[in-house]
């Protein structure tokens, strides 16, 4: 038991660090290959923070723990809204100025609703996995198209705040060399897989020892741990007054979690879905997403999250975790 706890702690530390290096390496390499900052930001950076969730879910599915993978994806989505945005908004109120993000929110909500629809029969099989991954490819294609269209403006005429923020963050003279980028991409990927295996082993060992379901472990311990990159990225962005990147990280991550992190395990190891997912966790996930919309648009002016809204989101997340703890006891 002690060894399993130690494995989780070490796994989380290596996971968070290696995911950051993997994304930084991939983003820098893409920039050196001539891909625009906006496309790199919307795809590699936006979706890359979900790399831990994807790798852990794949490894869990291979180990016949698909419910842990499902719990990880749904729990991470809930944590991204309640925990990540809650903490970030408490640190500094967030304002959404980017028109691109305003188009991404409906995509996030649609992806979540699609997950509910495909899981409604209690099965997560090959067909469901293909549907979810096909939709993910569609979203990626739309994202790249958006980046190309927005990037046609001359550098001095760009007016979308998200594009300006990504250009500042991913300027060629500010990122690592091509050689270092390749090294960190490979090293980060290897460590990401290794730490994920360690974390899955520790999580399943604790679940077995305490008699707690893999689903609960995935929704809580694993989900919070794999959301660490989103927390770090969003806090770092808001401290640099890059509010659109902070919110974009969450929207992009939630889209990827819903379509990719649930879709891949469905293909690797089809399974039946715990009914608690349908009647408890998915409604909470969709409800938090809808609440986020109302908090963003419930006032005049640009969509924003106040500190009060941040406290509300964080409080609701804590209540959800407490309820899971009571039910698991």
pLDDT confidence of residue 157: 46
Closest CA to 249 of 282, 268, 222, 227: 227
Interacting residues of 147 by C-beta distance below 8 A, sequence separation 6+: 36, 38, 39, 42, 43
Name the stretches of the chain with pLDDT < 70. Answer: 36-38, 42, 45-47, 150-175
Is residue 189 within 8 A of residue 19, CB to CB? The reply is: no
Q: Which runs of consecutive H residues, i.e. helices, occur in 211-261?
A: 214-217, 223-226, 228-239, 243-256
Tens of pLDDT along 70-123? 999 999 999 999 999 999 999 988 888 777 777 788 999 999 999 999 999 888
Q: What integer pLDDT is reported at residue 263 of this predicted model?
A: 94
pLDDT digit string, tens, across residues 251-291: 888 999 999 999 999 999 998 998 999 999 999 999 999 99
Q: Please report the sign of the dihedral spanned by the C-alpha atoms of residue 125, residue 67, residue 17, residue 48.
A: positive
Joined together, the tokens standing for residue 93 give 């109120």
C-alpha R_g of the chain:
19
**Global pTM exceeds 0.85:** yes
Rounded CA separation 62/178 (Å)? 34
Q: At 209, which CATH number?
A: 1.20.1420.30
Residues 6+ positions from 247 with CB-CB distance below 8 Å: 85, 94, 96, 101, 234, 305
The 3-state DSSP class for residue 95 equals: strand
Greatest CA span in the chain, whole angstroms? Answer: 60
Share of the chain above pLDDT 70, in %: 89
CB 33 within 8 A of CB 244: no
Report the Cα–Cα distance between both ends of the chain, in Å, rounded.
Answer: 18
User: Given this model, what pLDDT does residue 168 score?
Assistant: 67
Determine the structural domain holding residue 42 and report its residue range: 2-328
Q: Which of 18, 48, 12 is nearest to 170 (CA)?
A: 48
CA distance 316 to 202: 28
How many domains is the chain partitioned into structurally?
1
């Amino acid at each position: 038991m002690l060894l399993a706890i130690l494995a989780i702690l070490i796994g989380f530390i290596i996971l968070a660090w290696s995911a950051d290096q993997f994304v930084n390496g991939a983003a820098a390499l893409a920039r050196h290959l001539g891909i625009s900052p906006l496309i790199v930001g919307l795809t590699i950076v936006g979706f890359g923070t979900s790399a831990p969730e994807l790798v852990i879910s794949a490894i869990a599915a291979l180990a016949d723990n698909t419910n842990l993978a499902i719990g990880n994806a749904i729990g991470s989505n809930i944590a991204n809204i309640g925990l990540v945005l809650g903490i970030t908004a408490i640190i500094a109120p967030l304002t959404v100025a980017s028109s691109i993000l305003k188009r991404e929110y409906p995509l996030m909500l649609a992806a979540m609703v699609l997950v509910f629809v495909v899981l409604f029969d209690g099965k997560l099989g090959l067909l469901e996995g293909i549907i979810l991954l096909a939709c993910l490819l569609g979203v990626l294609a739309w994202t790249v198209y958006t980046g190309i269209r927005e990037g046609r403006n001359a550098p001095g005429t760009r007016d979308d705040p998200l594009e300006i923020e990504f250009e500042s963050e991913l300027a060629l003279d500010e990122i690592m060399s091509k050689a270092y980028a390749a090294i960190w991409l490979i090293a980060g990927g290897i460590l990401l897989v290794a730490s994920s295996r360690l974390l899955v082993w520790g999580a399943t060992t604790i679940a077995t020892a305490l008699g707690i379901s893999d689903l609960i472990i995935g929704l809580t311990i694993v989900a919070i741990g794999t959301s660490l990159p989103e927390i770090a990225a969003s806090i770092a962005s808001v401290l640099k007054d890059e509010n659109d990147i902070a919110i974009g990280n969450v929207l992009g991550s939630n889209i990827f979690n819903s379509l990719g992190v649930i879709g891949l395990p469905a293909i690797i190891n089809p399974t039946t879905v715990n009914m608690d997912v349908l009647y408890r966790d998915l409604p909470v996930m969709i409800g938090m997403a809808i609440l986020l919309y109302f908090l963003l648009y419930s006032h005049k002016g640009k969509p924003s999250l106040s500190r009060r809204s941040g406290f509300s989101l964080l409080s609701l997340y804590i209540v959800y975790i407490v309820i899971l703890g009571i039910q698991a006891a």
